């Protein structure tokens, strides 16, 4: 396949992915908007006023970056896992697998679909947050890069989950039992400085903590962790998941006997 043909294959898959999640916007774009709105109302406006300040900022200002990134994580993960597993379950993935489209292009296109939905949901949530607070941007470059890298990483996570999943229950297990606890304990709602030394160290084993803090740094200029180390860690995870995904695409028994 020549590069132009690969580009056509890539855009075909990407357009198909974007068409899919925008066609069912009531299931893909509205729920994160509603749940984040509730988070803002309850934790930000109602309870947040009583909490006061966190790391020197109003609780609402502290909360917003974490909630935006949480919605990006969930949206990018859910997009790839549901789309790829759905195609695998309905066997329509064979349309792609029998074609000469290289595995690399298939993977990049699915990641791009997840990133597109993640960013779109992130923008919607950011728009909602503007109703509750004024957002100050400390570093646009950090914000943009972290949101894209995080969406890439969790799109890859969704891809691996989809390849291993045999039933729709398997698709729900990771978001419920892994993603949700890691996100909630990843510094979205609090600074890890509130924790004892032991739990601070435990928290530092949670990769989502680094993403949330780096993203918050892009808004507020503060972070519980080293920004450089965060980038290194996110890129490291991306590299590992990327290689695993490519290998599974070629060899997984879930796709090829």
Partner 1 sequence: MSYALKTTGLAKTYHNGVNALKGLDLSVQEGDFYALLGPNGAGKSTVIGILSSLVLKSSGRVEVFGVDIDNDFPKAKSFLGVVPQEFNFNIFETPLQIIRNQAGYYGIDRRTASERTEKYLRLLQIWDKRNDRAGHLSGGMKRRLMIARALVHEPRLLILDEPTAGVDIEIRRSMWEFLRNINSAGTTIILTTHYLEEAENLCRHIGIINHGELVENTSMRALLRQLNLETYVLDIENTLDTLPTEWADFARLVDASTLEVDVRSGQHLNDIYDALSKASIRVRSMRNKANRLEQLFVGMVGKAPGDKP
Task: State in angstroms the smallest separation of the CB of 202 from partner 1.
Answer: 39
By the rule CB under 8 A, 100 interacts with partner 1:
yes
By the rule CB under 8 A, 52 interacts with partner 1:
no
Task: State in angstroms the smallest separation of the CB of 92 from partner 1.
Answer: 4
By the rule CB under 8 A, 166 interacts with partner 1:
no
Q: Tell me which stretch binds partner 1 (CB under 8 A): 12-20, 28-36, 123-131, 141-149.
A: 12-20
Select from 97, 135, 148, 195 the one that contacts partner 1 (CB under 8 A).
97
By the rule CB under 8 A, 12 interacts with partner 1:
yes
Task: State in angstroms the smallest separation of the CB of 150 from partner 1.
Answer: 29
d(CA 69, CA 223): 15
Contacts of 257 (CB under 8 A, 6+ apart): none
In the complex with partner 1, the residue whose CB is nearer, 64 or 87, is 87
Residue 50: burial class (beta carbons within 10 Å; 0-12, 13-18, 19+)? exposed
Total binding residues toward partner 1, as defined by CB under 8 A = 29
d(CA 128, CA 63): 13
By the rule CB under 8 A, 22 interacts with partner 1:
no
In the complex with partner 1, the residue whose CB is nearer, 52 or 100, is 100
By the rule CB under 8 A, 146 interacts with partner 1:
no
Task: State in angstroms the smallest separation of the CB of 177 from partner 1.
Answer: 28
Residue 67 · residue 188 · CB < 8 Å: yes
Q: Tell me which stretch binds partner 1 (CB under 8 A): 1-9, 34-42, 196-204, 235-243.
A: 1-9
Q: Tell me which stretch binds partner 1 (CB under 8 A): 50-58, 90-98, 137-145, 157-165.
A: 90-98
Tokens of 44: 């930000």
Task: State in angstroms the smallest separation of the CB of 72 from partner 1.
Answer: 26
Binding interface with partner 1 (CB under 8 A): 1-2, 4-6, 8-9, 11-13, 16, 87, 90-92, 94-102, 251, 253, 255-257
């Amino acid at each position: 396949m020549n590069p132009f043909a690969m580009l056509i294959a890539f855009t075909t898959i990407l357009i198909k992915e974007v068409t899919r999640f925008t066609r069912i916007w009531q299931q893909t774009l509205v729920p994160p908007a509603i749940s984040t709105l509730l988070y803002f109302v309850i934790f930000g406006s109602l309870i947040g006023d009583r909490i006061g300040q966190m790391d020197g900022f109003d609780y609402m200002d502290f909360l917003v970056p974490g909630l935006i990134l949480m919605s990006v994580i969930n949206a990018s993960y859910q997009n790839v896992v549901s789309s790829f597993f759905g195609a695998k379950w309905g066997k329509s993935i064979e349309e792609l697998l029998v074609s000469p489209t290289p595995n690399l292009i298939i993977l990049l296109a699915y990641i791009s679909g997840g990133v597109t939905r993640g960013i779109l949901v992130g923008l919607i949530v950011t728009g909602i947050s503007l109703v509750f607070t004024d957002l100050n941007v400390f570093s646009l470059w950090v914000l943009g890069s972290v949101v894209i890298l995080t969406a890439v990483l969790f799109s890859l996570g969704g891809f691996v989950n989809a390849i291993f999943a045999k039933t729709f229950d398997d698709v729900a297990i990771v978001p419920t039992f892994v993603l949700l606890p890691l996100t909630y304990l990843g510094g979205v709602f609090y600074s890890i400085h509130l924790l004892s030394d032991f739990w601070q160290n435990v928290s530092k084993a949670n990769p989502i903590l680094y993403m949330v803090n780096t993203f918050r740094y892009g808004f507020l200029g503060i972070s519980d962790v080293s920004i450089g180390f965060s980038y290194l860690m996110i890129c490291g995870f991306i590299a590992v998941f990327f290689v695993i995904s490519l290998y599974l695409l070629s060899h997984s028994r879930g796709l090829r006997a």
